[in-house]
Structure 1
Amino acid sequence: MEIYQIRAFVTVARVGNLTRAAQALNLTQPAVTAQIKALEQSLGVALFDRSAGKFALAKAGATLLPTAEAVLALGTQLKSEALKLQGELHGTVELGIPSEQVDFLRLGELASSVTRSLPLIELQTQVLPTTQLVEYVCTGRLSAALTIAAYPPRDVQWMPLRSITYRIVLPNAMAEHLKLGGWPELAMLPWLDGPHGSHIHLLLRELFERHGLTPRVVMNSADQANMDALVRAGAGCALVREEVALAGAQRQDFLVWGHARIDASLGFITSTENAAQPILVALISMLKEIWNIDNLMEKIVA
């Protein structure tokens, strides 16, 4: 039994797909399959059900998965303790972030703190939709991520940083369309959306689904940090952070529609396996100072 075989088992179980698991492990599918077969032979039980062409977690696999995850976590802890003995932290931190203004994310402050306190650490950021951020953290393709979500993501450790309220804004020229209208009329106006799985896309869908409606999307923009500029130009309606929406309305750049709102949170996520890494522990400490949050570690929700 080898640690890499256990990692292959846990990754396939988490992702639920052999192809994506192979990508996360940077291996071929046959190599992942071979590692799992070798582990099954070593354990004497079938971890996955391969009947009818499927690759689903078997009963024995589901029973052993928590133990396998604990073994990986202990392996990470062992490496972390060894690294402490080597002296200063060094390496690369792959940090996922949502499409948002860097000032709002306080990314500059985090980068400055890393440069000052961890000079041997290189911080690399990657902008991705929320669902992909969570998946990449779970599979180890990202060290950690800042995410915006209505609810704490599952299967990761979630540390809330601040609450966010989103409001509906629409171009000034569209005000006439809603003088006597409500949600059905609002849904028929042109809407600006984010990519599938992004925080804007998920929040927009949830907001309209409450009323049994779907917005008429005319544009999907990967740049969700500047939705207000698109609305100001008359491209369509959008969800915008409340402080941005109210400031824009005060300048008469666009209109804020009624009192409709949807709440979300900005949080920091890590995988359970990697949460004990000294680099991530250091990042959490920095975030505590940056966001002025007391007892930050106690706010981590598994």
Structure 2
Amino acid sequence: MDIRQLRTFVTVARFGSVTKAAEALHVTQPAVSGQLRSLEEELDVRLLSRTTASVTLTQSGEALLGRAERAIEAFGEFVHAARGFRGQIEGRLRIGFVMLDPAALRVGPLLAEMVVRHPGLKIDLQVGRTSWLHDALRSAEIDAALLVCKKRPEGTAMKVLDEMTFRLVVPASWHDLPEAGRATLDLLAGKPWIRMAPRSGHQEVLDEILRAAAFKPVETVEADHEQTMRALVAAGVGVGVMREALAMQARDAGEAVFFGDCTATTQVAFVYAEGRGSDPAIQATLAALDAVWSRIA
């Protein structure tokens, strides 16, 4: 039994005529009669009484007509739902992101967009140090990453999403420094600095800030997590570099002070292995990123 037989049965019942049913179904009368005969033989139930003038439902046919109509409706819903999954991406996608506030990287909106667009795609999120993310991309341990970086890591393609500003900050407890307007980097030559993780966005922006300095910082504790950086600066451990929004929060909380106008900009970027640009999962993520970051803008 197939759906065509049920559709033929319902159509004949509605019109009360094989001829009219054949016209409605765009088939021949013998084809309609053959579908009905096959259905009744398979069910071993007489559904219709035929005369030369008309076709009427038997008692069994009347009882089964409603069920046949619902079966056809359910089949249509099934086909519609199945077609809705045409082009849907399935599988697993592993995305890493740096240890910044996920809200600053729009991780939540991105995943919300992806879940709606591609429910069959399973996404793993992994947060890690920038250096680990670089290595994980090269070893295919992750498929892509949200990074804060100025340059494209070797062996990757990069989609720039936005710019991000960082500020040089000092502990608020350091009262021996001059006012911001008279602050020069040389005044920090003998002060302890929080060491930036290699290959991190923090290191890149610090290198830019220090480009004009004539000294090498006295480095102490290494940090690659922005909340750790904030805690270290607040505790008086040393000079640090913070994302501007976070630096403002630290300043307003009395934890840190901006050191002059020492700022540097970098980029928020989606990075993936070269040669993966045609991967459906990567393409889907790129499209979702476009939607998310265009709404933010």
Relative to the length of structure 1, the TM-score reads 0.62
SS in 2 for 1:279: helix
| Distance of 1:178 and 1:208 partners within structure 2 | 19
> Within 1, Cα distance between the matches of 2:227 and 2:104?
10
Equivalent residue letter for 1:124: D
The equivalent of 2:191 in structure 1 is: 189
User: Aligned letter for 1:236?
Assistant: G
Query: Is contact 1:164–1:241 with CA below 8 Å preserved after alignment?
Result: yes
Q: Is the 8 A contact 1:129 1:199 kept in 2?
A: no
Q: Does structure 1 retain, via aligned residues, the 8 Å contact 2:183–2:259? A: no
RMSD: 2.6
Match for 1:242: what amino acid? E
Q: Tell me by how many angstroms 1:181 deviates.
A: 6.1
Give 1:132 shift: 4.1
CA distance in 1, matches of 2:199, 2:193: 17
Distance (whole Å) between structure 1 residues aligned to residue 196 and residue 127 of structure 2: 13
In 2, Cα distance between equivalents of 1:115 and 1:170: 42
Equivalent residue, structure 1, for 2:137: 137
Alignment partner, residue 104 of structure 1: 104
Aligned counterpart for 2:257 among listed residues 255, 259, 268: 255
Distance, in Å, in 2 between the alignment partners of 1:143 and 1:235 is 36
- Superposition pairs for residues 119-138 of structure 1, below 5 Å? 119-138=119-138
TM-superposed CA distance for 1:165, in Å, is 1.0
> CA, structure 1 residues 293+96, in 2 after alignment: closer, same or farther (shift >3 Å)?
same
Return the alpha-carbon distance in structure 2 between the equivalents of residues 155 and 212 of structure 1.
Answer: 34
Q: 1:130 to 1:200 in 2, by over 3 A?
A: same
SS in 1 for 2:202: helix
Unaligned runs of 5+ in 1: 1-84, 295-302
Counterpart of 2:236 in structure 1: which amino acid? G
1:157–1:270 contact (8 Å) kept in structure 2:
yes
Change (3 A) 1:284 1:130: same
Match of 2:273 in 1: 271
Q: Counterpart of 1:227?
A: 229
SS at match of 2:173: helix
- 2:89 alignment partner in structure 1: 89
Cα distance change, pair 188–177 in 1 and its aligned pair in 2 (3 A): same
- The answer to whether residue 169 in structure 2 is matched with residue 169 in structure 1 is yes
Give the Cα separation in 2 of the matches to 1:126 and 1:156.
18
- Any conservation in 2 of the 1:149–1:199 contact (CA below 8 Å)? yes
Which is worse superposed, 90-99 or 180-189?
A: 180-189
Alpha-carbon spacing, 1:135–1:293, altered in 2? closer, same or farther (3 Å): farther
Aligned positions, number: 210
SS at match of 2:189: helix
- 1:258 maps to amino acid: G
Matched residue SS, 2:119: coil
Q: CA, structure 1 residues 260+181, in 2 after alignment: closer, same or farther (shift >3 Å)?
A: closer
Whose radius of gyration is greater, 1 or 2?
2
For residues 69-92 of structure 1, what are the alpha-carbon distances to aligned partners after superposition, in whole Å with 9 as ceiling and x for unaligned?
Answer: xxxxxxxxxxxxxxxx98532221
Report which stretch shifted further, 254-263 or 145-154. 145-154
**Within 2, Cα distance between the matches of 1:140 and 1:241?**
29
| Kept in 1: contact 2:189–2:217 (CA 8 A) | yes
Give the aligned partner of residue 247 of structure 2.
245
Q: Structure 2 vs 1, CA of residues 182 and 141 (structure 1 numbering), >3 Å: closer, same or farther?
A: same
Q: What is the rounded CA distance, in whole Å, between the counterparts of 1:293 and 1:211 in structure 2?
A: 39
In the TM superposition, what is the alpha-carbon distance from 1:175 to its structure 2 partner? 3.5
Partner letter of residue 168 of structure 1?
A: L
Return 5+ residue gaps in structure 2 as ranges.
1-84
C-alpha distance in structure 2 between counterparts of 1:133 and 1:94, whole Å? 11
What is the CA-CA distance between 1:96 and the residue it aligns to?
1.7
Instruction: Name the % identity.
Output: 21
